[in-house]
Amino acid sequence: MSAQHFLKRLLHDDRGATAVEYGLIVALIFIAMIVALQGLATETVTMWNGVDSKVVAARGGA
């Protein structure tokens, strides 16, 4: 088999295309989840810092 024939067959072979597409979709969903969880984590830390400040203030600023 010549190199030209091999490259032509390789370029027209789409057997793994669906698996690659599903892999890309899963990767994008995973990235979106990470971004959303980072935002949630930031909001949670901010909330607990506010709770801590209010508890300290309620105890007389100790």
Return the domain boundaries, the chain: 14-59
pLDDT tens per residue, range 43-60: 999 999 999 999 999 998
Confidence band of 18 (pLDDT split at 50, 70, 90): confident
Look-up: residue for tokens 């690659």? 20
Report field, pTM of the whole predicted structure over 0.85? no
- Round to whole Å and give the CA distance between 60 and 49: 17
